[in-house]
Amino acid sequence: MTSLKIAWVNLRRTFRDRTNLFFLVLFPFLLIMVLGLAFGGQTAPRLAVVATGSGPLTEQLVEELEASSGLDAEAFDDREAAVTAVEQGRAEGAVVVPEDYDARLAGGGEVVLDYVSSADRTAQQTGTIVASVVDQQAARVTVARVLQERVGGDLDGMLALTDGTAEAVPDVAVAATITGETVFPEDLGRFDVGASGQLLLFIFVTSMTASTALIETRKLGVSRRMYATPTSVRAIVAGEALGRIAVAVLQGAIIMVGSALLFGVTWGSPAAAASLMLAFAVVAGGAGMLMGSLATSTEQAIAIGLLLALGMGALGGSMMPLEFFTPTLYAVAHVTPHAWAADGFADLIRRDGGLGDVVDELGVLVAYGLVLFAAASWGLRRSIARA
Amino acid sequence: MAASLDIAAKDLRQRVRDRSAILLAIVVPLALAAIFSLLFGPASTPRPFEYAVVDQDGGPIVAAFEDEVLDYLESEEIVSVEAMGEEEARQAVSDGDLDAAFVFPAGFSEAVQSERPVEVEVVGSADSPTGTDVARSIARSFVADLDAARVAVAAVAHQQAGTSEDELSAIAEQVATAPPPVALRDVSASAKVLDTKTYFAAGMAVFFLLFTVQFGVSSLLEERSDGTLARLLAAPVRRTSILVGKLLTSIVLGVVSLTVLVVGTTLLLGATWGDPLGVALLILAGVLAGTGITSLVASFARTPEQAGSWQAVVAVTLGLLGGAFFPIQQSGSFMATASLVTPHAWFLRGLGSLVGEGGVVDVLPAVAALLCFAVVTGAVAMTRIGRVVAL
């Protein structure tokens, strides 16, 4: 009973501070929103298209570029703006169609289009897609010119003849098939991929920073006074532990429920998602309590807590999905509880898994939690006895 | 002036003695920059797409595709290609070990030459949409030329019945050898984007700067609650001198910590910050902007604790919006424009303009923007802060 009271006091202290309310409630959603708006749903390389001239060939080229899968084409008014976009990394490349494109082709000339890029590998890969669109139009114009010579007529008429014939002639086709499973199914919303990472990141950050309460408790002499009452050390430690877990769970619940309501994030099977979050909250609570019992000053605890929480979050795939890690880093990442929890959420969110699919991950998280709480209880007992 | 220097010197000594200040101003940003660039650096370096060629044909056309098209792309390190059996290739693509495979069926070359319909299959991995699109584009470019000859021959044969076989092959030859009427030329643009290491070094430096410079004016509140401010005011020291001393503390702390971070990340992480004079201007302007903003926040607070927590809220929000953690400027969305309300975005943009040949002139817009932040926030803070010093 006393333990529950201590836990309750801990929770109230955390939520009474209005700054904490910002970090616990507003900030996670701000981050999810900014990331979702800035980066969500953006996968294809971006191509800036500058086509100032007009005419059927220009229009067709631009249409083909826009329709090309694998490119996210955006029209730019002039070359300068497009080059700036490339320089600032807002587009992988820019293609510039000369103003007299149609006229020069109709006159039998050759046209060179500029593909402006920073010439890194992504830009070159994007360039092959652009080149393919250009090559296809070049082939069409070549045929029309040969026909002009053999059959006679203007280029437009011969282009029409080329297109008409192309439909009738059996062609050499490119068939595309897609195999394998996507890591990120296409029906994932723009906020879905990042949300579980941010959930884990924030549970841990909050747990670490909120555990400075333990240091205050010690400094203000609250521990000493509690110790003086007929409350067993066991009950105090249990109460503080419950308090740490409660703060972490509450942070988790706020993010899960809030992101589902505000951004329509899907968390998969509710029972499994809740279990994963609870297990991770136990780990985070344990880590927070361990640091709170070992650190000597609030400032020190915040600096080290931020470093650990952000560092482990980064390593554990909370900022960039683990699938993008190199194999070595992927293995190293699984030192962190974040990586295990992230694996579990990936099973639920991306592969529609259930409780049965995340048993391993839950087991590892619970083991982490037990070890951390054992160490933290020892640390807290020691600090209470000393105080 | 002497009094200001004394006050600043005393505050600085206090800060240096307090190790957690050094922790937050230097150790944590340095460590986080190292962790982020170690983890995210490899992933942000694009790799060549890995393809397989399944040649069940053994004919000249597939050989031409391999020798002329793929060899060139491989030499440019855009793709890497391996010959494989069909089962093996499909499995590898399906497992995500390859991005895509080109499967040429038996009799492909013969079918192309005899004008029968035929297909080359591009098997792409679901996990590599761009890799698949690039493979498909490569195949389409190649096939476009094969198709062109067929179409030209068919059109002439249809329009002019009775054209001889020889003449038709001459037409096919003419199409195949004609110089392409449209070609793509690579023009390189100088990237004005920070590399991963420098980006994270700069992002963390500017993010933690707002925590570092907050000690200055906030310490007025601290001195007030400790009772030392009253004693200071009773001494023959002008109020402006006290204020100048506090601002000086912030500026020195900010400049020193940023300088240490620039040198540290250059030596330890291999970050490249660019023209030293340009960087110095940005640091100074950035520190002034940070000092102005934190002073403004402090001027609204009643206690040092309140100032500290409000400043944390402001620093974290501005850091997030300003792209200190994620390169929001490159996202191209409206968030990139929105981020320009933060000094962080200007600081990072200024550094971006130093990449390559950029010099002092290129950072001036960013420096001007940062100074605007400093002047506006600083002016408001100074008019408000009077009430703290008056008490």
Instruction: Kindly state whether A152 is in contact with chain B, defined as any CB-CB distance less than 8 angstroms.
Output: no
Q: Domain containing B382: what range? A: 2-43+192-390
Residue B229 lies in a domain: yes
Q: Give the pTM.
A: 0.81
Q: Which pLDDT belongs to residue B2?
A: 80
DSSP classification of residue A77: S
Last residue of a domain, one of B131, B149, B177: B177
Picking from A206, A189, A330, A346, the residue whose alpha carbon sits closest to that of residue A276 is A346
Q: Which pLDDT belongs to residue B147?
A: 87
Last residue of a domain, one of B133, B150, B177: B177
Average pLDDT estimate for A252-274: 89
Question: Do B198 and B338 belong to one domain?
Answer: yes
Q: Mind listing the domains of chain A with CATH numbers?
A: 2-40+192-386 (no CATH), 46-168 (3.40.1710.10)
Question: Do B35 and B55 belong to one domain?
Answer: no
Question: Do B38 and B105 belong to one domain?
Answer: no
pLDDT for residue A228 is more than 80? no
Q: Which pLDDT belongs to residue B135?
A: 92
pLDDT band, very low/low/confident/very high, at B85 (cuts 50, 70, 90): very high
pLDDT for residue B391 is more than 70? no
- The sheet with strand B49-55 has its strands ordered as A172-179, B118-125, B100-104, B49-55, B79-83
Q: Which pLDDT belongs to residue A387?
A: 57
Interface contact flag, B28 A307, Cβ < 8 Å: yes
Residue B129 lies in a domain: yes
Q: Which pLDDT belongs to residue A42?
A: 57
Q: At what angle do helices B360-390 and B239-269 cross, to 10 degrees?
A: 140
pLDDT for residue A188 is more than 70? no
Q: Which residues of A touch B21 (CB under 8 A)?
A: 299
Question: Do B236 and B359 belong to one domain?
Answer: yes
Q: Which residues of A touch B25 (CB under 8 A)?
A: none
Query: A233 or A87, which is more confident?
Result: A87
The 3 state secondary structure assigned to A204-249 is HHHHHHHCHHHHHHHHCCHHHHHHHCCCCHHHHHHHHHHHHHHHHH
Average pLDDT estimate for B28-40: 89
Tokens of A159: 């282009």
Q: Which residues of A touch B151 (CB under 8 A)?
A: 143, 162, 165-166, 169
Matching residue, tokens 């160490």? A375
Question: Do B341 and B283 belong to one domain?
Answer: yes
The DSSP code sequence of B253-283 is HHHHHHHHHHHHHHHHH------HHHHHHHH
Residue B187 lies in a domain: no
pLDDT for residue A186 is more than 60? no
Matching residue, tokens 């703006």? A81
Instruction: Kindly state whether B42 is in contact with chain A, defined as any CB-CB distance less than 8 angstroms.
Output: yes
Cα–Cα–Cα angle for A38, A44, A46, nearest 5°?
Answer: 75
Q: Which residues of B touch A350 (CB under 8 A)?
A: none
Residue B182 lies in a domain: no
Interface contact flag, B184 A116, Cβ < 8 Å: no
Interface contact flag, A179 B332, Cβ < 8 Å: no
Question: Do B161 and B201 belong to one domain?
Answer: no
Q: Which pLDDT belongs to residue B207?
A: 94
Tokens of B111: 């079918």
Q: Which residues of A touch B44 (CB under 8 A)?
A: none
Q: What are phi and psi of A94, to 5 degrees?
A: -135, 140
Instruction: Kindly state whether B27 is in contact with chain A, defined as any CB-CB distance less than 8 angstroms.
Output: yes
Q: Which pLDDT belongs to residue A184?
A: 60
Question: Do B127 and B8 belong to one domain?
Answer: no
Of B24, B42, B331, the CB nearest to A38: B331
Helices (H), ranges, B114-182: 129-159, 165-177
Question: Do B36 and B57 belong to one domain?
Answer: no
- Which of A 238-297 lie inside 8 A of B, CB atoms? 297
Element at A19 (helix H, strand E): helix A18-21
- Which of B 268-307 lie inside 8 A of A, CB atoms? none
Average pLDDT estimate for A276-286: 95
Q: Is-contact B253 B12, C-beta < 8 A?
A: yes
Interface contact flag, B39 A140, Cβ < 8 Å: no
Residue B305 lies in a domain: yes
Q: Which pLDDT belongs to residue B290?
A: 95
pLDDT for residue A192 is more than 80? no
**Chain A interface, mutation test: which of B74, B90, B133, most A Cβ atoms within 10 Å?**
B133
Of B151, B321, B336, the CB nearest to A166: B151
Distance CA(B366)–CA(B346), nearest Å, equals: 5
The DSSP code sequence of B90-106 is HHHHHTTSSSEEEEEPT
Q: What is the percentage of chain B residues whose pLDDT exceeds 90? A: 36
Instruction: Kindly state whether A178 is in contact with chain B, defined as any CB-CB distance less than 8 angstroms.
Output: yes
Q: Which residues of B touch A320 (CB under 8 A)?
A: 39-40, 43
pLDDT tens figures, A38-75:
776 556 788 999 999 888 999 999 999 998 888 889 99
Q: Which pLDDT belongs to residue B388?
A: 65
Cα–Cα–Cα angle for B139, B142, B147, nearest 5°?
Answer: 110
Determine the length of chain B.
391
pLDDT tens figures, B174-212:
888 888 888 888 888 777 788 888 999 999 999 999 999
Question: Do B136 and B15 belong to one domain?
Answer: no
B161 Cβ partners below 8 Å, 6+ apart? none
Question: Do B110 and B196 belong to one domain?
Answer: no
Of B47, B320, B326, the CB nearest to A30: B320
Q: Which of A38-52, B310-324, B370-384 has the lowest mean pLDDT?
A: A38-52
Question: Do B227 and B83 belong to one domain?
Answer: no
Element at B184 (helix H, strand E): strand B182-188
Residue B183 lies in a domain: no
Q: Which pLDDT belongs to residue B286?
A: 96
Instruction: Kindly state whether A328 is in contact with chain B, defined as any CB-CB distance less than 8 angstroms.
Output: no
Picking from B380, B347, B187, the residue whose alpha carbon sits closest to that of residue B278 is B347
Residue B26 lies in a domain: yes
Distance CA(B40)–CA(B81), nearest Å, equals: 26
Strand, coil or helix: B120: strand
A112 to chain B, minimum CA–CA distance in Å?
5
Distance CA(A336)–CA(A342), nearest Å, equals: 10
Q: Which pLDDT belongs to residue A172?
A: 83
Last residue of a domain, one of B177, B206, B227: B177
**Chain A interface, mutation test: which of B137, B158, B321, B342, most A Cβ atoms within 10 Å?**
B137
Question: Do B341 and B358 belong to one domain?
Answer: yes
Distance CA(B308)–CA(B300), nearest Å, equals: 11
Residue B83 lies in a domain: yes
pLDDT for residue B367 is more than 90? yes
Tokens of B126: 């679901």
A356 to chain B, minimum CA–CA distance in Å?
24
Q: What are phi and psi of A85, to 5 degrees?
A: -60, -40
Picking from B221, B226, B225, the residue whose alpha carbon sits closest to that of residue B246 is B221
pLDDT for residue A20 is more than 80? no
Picking from B208, B31, B319, B321, the residue whose alpha carbon sits closest to that of residue A310 is B31
Distance CA(A300)–CA(A302), nearest Å, equals: 5
Q: Provide the total of helices (H) and of strands (E) in chain A, helices listed first.
A: 17, 5
- Which of B 80-109 lie inside 8 A of A, CB atoms? 90, 93-96
Q: What does the mean pLDDT of chain A come to?
A: 85
Interface contact flag, A178 B126, Cβ < 8 Å: yes
What CATH number has the domain bearing residue B144?
3.40.190
Q: Could you give the C-alpha distances from A232 to A160, A214, A235, A331, B306, in angstroms and in order?
A: 92, 17, 5, 43, 35
Domain count, chain B: 2
